[in-house]
């Protein structure tokens, strides 16, 4: 069964109590179907959401900050202690330095946090694989938030990312994203070698997120 | 009575449940003494803490991001909807662009969020006053985290900040910080024209934060 | 006579030898008319241009870096020793932290470099004035690179910037920019209280920059 | 013969005319010995230096900016047209985003500029190799500017970088740096599989840079 990672971003639908509402829907679908659904709520809702669901809760970002005298930054230790079980790193809306990405992936491993490193093309996917994260998520920035799935517009960016990532580190799984909205997009992603998808608006802005999730999972 | 703003930073004492524990102590002291205590918990604990205390909860930082397609950033609207009532802007450990600071102060006003803009010297305090935040908090970076209070080492930076801030906008209150640990530091701050203090390690790392808070308040 | 500050940016017209070519045209017009023309060539051409013209050569940016072990950053001392006589700070295409702007303005004064601090609205102009630069240049970002002058679209942003800047520091002169192309735009700027203009494409991309400069100067 | 890349940084010795003075010494040594010496002068001196020497002149940094409306940033095209033949990317004193590094390496290739991508450990060296730059330069940040060569303190970081880089892309050459001062350091670097060194203070701050260069080259 494919992995579905839902980035809540900071859409109006997930402000305040909205984050928990969507989190519970994802939790319910995962529980009923046995699917692996990962959610990434807004930073300010992380602890509240993590306390109420069983599925893995990821932070949308982490700072390469150390525990101690740092203000407004989010170190990995705080993600874990707030109930998080992983982190999205280097999302196209929050790019990071190469050395910082490596630091975060390595430290996450030490803290037993899972990592999704986002990338924008095949060489960057290959580079990210050198850090041995759990997932590399390839998302062409020009397709993010759009209506056509990367798997239709640019299938080779997915299959070539898989090929290059596996060449560099066979343990790393590939997700893909951008424009993913339907079950057939997920099915195509898996055919191209991905183990799942990372998506946002397709679920968060849906009128009926549960229906969309079930469709994505092919249920 | 002086205002006490406690920046929890990301000290180990406020990881996970530690943030709520300290928040409740601050809440209790404020309730018993009638003092104005503002707290700024770690970003990932904002909603959980805000749900459990009556005192004002500020975010340690906000991003100049808009509600919508943004990942890992914290827009002001999310701070408010997570239960926050204000925000620390431009802390010395999280400096921001001048145009972004102005944007955040203006938008906070519109959203009924209070603002503390941190500054590092007298001209920067004057500049911050031009944005009309609720508070300008002057903290010489070289004294932050240290053991000697700014009010002893450099009293004129406080009194001159007050003078310049009031010249530019008489509505803006001044806080001071860096090395503040005791009741006499707060007393001195008030004598220099400040309306209170912004502090962190003095309370957060204290063995008995309640005792320290009572001492700061002169109770 | 109004001050004309020409930001060369990195337009194709000023790549390589193109920078010196335009610099010499500006130099010639200044020399013939007695006008005050300031030029800001691309960073990589600073020393070559400064060696060949008599008019003031400004850097388009400076980093808050110290002389010593720093790579690819441009400290103020290097601008001066490469022949520069001033610097543009906080251009809308290169925004900086508030504390860094203050540091650069103060250090420029010490090094006898002149400063133009760019701003985007009236409160930010007021804030910049608190640092006492030689010039505050107000440029609404949404009009930069456009065809209609700020002096026509939003004259009050110029006059109110002048009023606020003078209230805070009477020594600071105001320039305005964005969409400035013709002599009548400059005339209007001066009527609104500005002492000149900061412009880029109007001169750099002109077929005949000399003719444009003479028109701007009302000659 | 080993490659010697000299990063001038912004040491006081290379302010203003000092950059050209050192550049000519490097040029003379290269010409006399037939060695490959690359120099990276301060940004503001790039065109002046490039006009006067025959050895390759690299920029210390490039911005992922496009030719056009951009202020104070240095696009690759301007480096080339100012006479540069390459660029240092991601120096430890000027870290960059992973996607930006990939963009700059790819575009440099298109513009026939050579690239040195700096890295801080073995996994980051491996990642950089995925972009196919001309050189990966491994420099442990904690040793930069120090007196003991990376080749003595941590030889395995060099040999393992070589191994990993070659595994990912056999065309990429490895340089090493940090603490490199003498001919024996260079000799050791070559024994560990590097094709040369990247250094700064060892040459720039030397009383007699010519003597140091000849020693480094084993002449």
Chains C and A touch (3+ CB pairs under 8 A): no
CA atoms within 13 A on the CB side of A126: 22
CA C206 – CA C210 distance, rounded (Å):
9
Residue-averaged pLDDT of chain D: 95
Query: Could you tell me which chains touch chain C, where touching means 3 or more CB pairs under 8 A?
Result: B, D
Question: Where do we find the tokens 């241009």?
Answer: C49
Q: For residue B98, what is the nearest residue in chain C, using CA coordinates?
A: C98
Q: Mutation test of the interface with chain D: which of A93, A130, A140, A157, choosing the one with the most D Cβ atoms within 10 A?
A: A130
Q: Which residues contact C142 (CB under 8 A, 6 or more apart)?
A: none
pLDDT digits (tens, 9 = 90+) for B83-126: 999 999 999 999 999 999 999 999 999 999 999 999 999 999 99
Q: For residue A166, what is the nearest residue in chain D, using CA coordinates?
A: D168
Q: What is the pLDDT of residue D145?
A: 78
Residue D133 has pLDDT above 90, yes or no: yes
Residue D146 has pLDDT above 90, yes or no: no
CA D74 – CA D82 distance, rounded (Å):
11
Query: Could you tell me which chains touch chain A, where touching means 3 or more CB pairs under 8 A?
Result: B, D
Query: At D206, which CATH number?
Result: 3.20.20.70
Contact B217, B184 (CB under 8 A): no
The residue with greater pLDDT, B147 or A34, is: A34
Average pLDDT over residues B60-84: 96
Given A45, A91, A102, A164, the catalytic residue = A91
pLDDT digits (tens, 9 = 90+) for C149-190: 989 999 999 999 999 999 999 999 999 998 889 999 999 999
pLDDT digits (tens, 9 = 90+) for D76-98: 999 999 999 999 999 999 999 99
CA A204 to chain centre: 13
Of A71, A81, A144, the CB nearest to B9: A71
Q: What is the pLDDT of residue B179?
A: 87
Contact A52, A19 (CB under 8 A): no
| E strand spans, B71-161 | 86-89, 114-119, 135-138
Residue D143 has pLDDT above 90, yes or no: no
Residue C72 has pLDDT above 90, yes or no: yes
Q: Where are the alpha helices (DSSP H) in A34-154?
A: 46-50, 76-81, 98-110, 122-129, 150-153
Average pLDDT over residues D113-131: 98
Report the gap between the CA of A116 and the closest CA in chain D (Å): 15
Burial of A190 (0-12, 13-18, 19+ CB in 10 A): middle
Average pLDDT over residues B185-201: 95
Q: What is the pLDDT of residue A147?
A: 85
Tokens representing residue B91 in the block: 């802390």
Q: Cα-flanking dihedrals φ and ψ of residue D144, to 5°?
A: -65, 135
CA C30 – CA B151 distance, rounded (Å):
52
- Distance from the first to the final alpha carbon of chain A: 10
User: Is B184 designated active site?
Assistant: no
Burial of D35 (0-12, 13-18, 19+ CB in 10 A): buried
Question: C-chain residues within 8 Å CB-CB of D83?
Answer: 16
Looking at the complex, does the CB of residue C98 fall below 8 Å from at least one CB of chain D?
no
Question: Among residues of chain B, what percentage have pLDDT more than 90?
Answer: 90
Q: What is the pLDDT of residue B201?
A: 93
Which structural domain, as residue segments, surrounds residue A200? 3-216
Q: For residue A89, what is the nearest residue in chain D, using CA coordinates?
A: D98
Residue D32 has pLDDT above 90, yes or no: yes
Q: Cα-flanking dihedrals φ and ψ of residue B28, to 5°?
A: -65, -45
Q: Mutation test of the interface with chain C: which of D18, D42, D44, choosing the one with the most C Cβ atoms within 10 A?
A: D44
Q: Do B73 and A10 touch (CB under 8 A)?
A: yes
Q: What is the count of structural domains for chain B?
A: 1
Tokens representing residue B129 in the block: 């006053």
Helix or strand holding residue D137 (H, E):
strand D135-138
Residue-averaged pLDDT of chain A: 96
pLDDT digits (tens, 9 = 90+) for A47-66: 999 999 999 999 999 999 99
Q: What is the pLDDT of residue B53?
A: 98
ipTM > 0.85 for the complex: yes
Question: D-chain residues within 8 Å CB-CB of C74?
Answer: 10, 42-44
What are the 10-residue block averages of pLDDT along chain A, 219 residues in total? 96 95 98 97 96 98 96 97 97 95 98 98 98 96 85 93 97 93 94 96 96 94
Indicate the length of chain C as a whole number.
Answer: 219
Looking at the complex, does the CB of residue D168 fall below 8 Å from at least one CB of chain A?
yes
Q: Which residues contact B177 (CB under 8 A, 6 or more apart)?
A: B118, B137, B138, B139, B144, B150, B197, B198, B199, B200
Question: C-chain residues within 8 Å CB-CB of D74?
Answer: 10, 42-44
Which residues face D88 on adjacent strands? D116
Q: Do A99 and D106 touch (CB under 8 A)?
A: no
Q: Mutation test of the interface with chain C: which of D5, D9, D10, choosing the one with the most C Cβ atoms within 10 A?
A: D10
Average pLDDT over residues D133-147: 90
Q: What is the pLDDT of residue C142?
A: 85
pLDDT digits (tens, 9 = 90+) for A113-155: 999 999 999 999 999 999 999 999 999 988 887 889 989 999 9
CA B183 – CA D184 distance, rounded (Å):
61
Q: For residue A121, what is the nearest residue in chain D, using CA coordinates?
A: D99
pLDDT digits (tens, 9 = 90+) for B168-178: 999 999 999 98
pLDDT digits (tens, 9 = 90+) for C98-149: 999 999 999 999 999 999 999 999 999 999 999 999 999 999 988 887 889 9
Chains D and A touch (3+ CB pairs under 8 A): yes
Please state, as a whole number, how many other Cβ atoms lie within 10 Å of the Cβ of residue B147: 9
**Confidence label for B161 from pLDDT (cuts 50, 70 and 90):** very high
Looking at the complex, does the CB of residue A130 fall below 8 Å from at least one CB of chain D?
yes
Nearest residue to A37 (alpha-carbon basis) of A28, A51, A26: A26
The pTM for the full model equals 0.95
A36 three-class SS:
strand
pLDDT digits (tens, 9 = 90+) for C17-69: 999 999 999 999 999 999 999 999 999 999 999 999 999 999 999 999 999 99
Q: What is the pLDDT of residue A194?
A: 97
Q: For residue D125, what is the nearest residue in chain A, using CA coordinates?
A: A130
Given D139, D142, D164, D207, the catalytic residue = D139
């Amino acid at each position: 069964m494919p992995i579905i990672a839902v980035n809540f971003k900071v859409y109006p639908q997930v402000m305040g109590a909205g984050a928990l509402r969507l989190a519970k829907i994802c939790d319910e679908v995962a529980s009923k179907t046995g699917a692996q659904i990962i959610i990434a709520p807004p930073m300010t809702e992380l602890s509240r959401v993590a306390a109420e669901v069983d599925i893995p809760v990821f932070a949308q970002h982490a700072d390469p900050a150390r525990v101690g005298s740092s203000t407004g930054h989010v170190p990995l230790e705080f993600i874990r202690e707030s109930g998080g079980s992983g982190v999205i790193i280097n999302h196209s809306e929050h790019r990071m330095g190469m050395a910082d990405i490596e630091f975060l992936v390595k430290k996450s491993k030490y803290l037993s946090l899972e990592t999704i490193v986002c990338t924008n093309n095949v060489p960057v996917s290959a580079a990210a694989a050198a850090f041995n994260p759990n997932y590399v998520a390839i998302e062409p920035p020009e397709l993010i938030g759009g209506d056509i799935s990367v798997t239709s517009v640019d299938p080779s960016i997915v299959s070539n990312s898989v090929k290059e990532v596996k060449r560099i580190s066979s343990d790393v799984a590939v997700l893909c994203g951008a424009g993913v909205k339907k079950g057939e997009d997920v099915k195509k992603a898996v055919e191209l070698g991905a183990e799942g998808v990372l998506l946002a608006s397709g679920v968060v802005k849906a009128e009926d997120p549960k229906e969309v999730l079930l469709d994505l999972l092919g249920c």
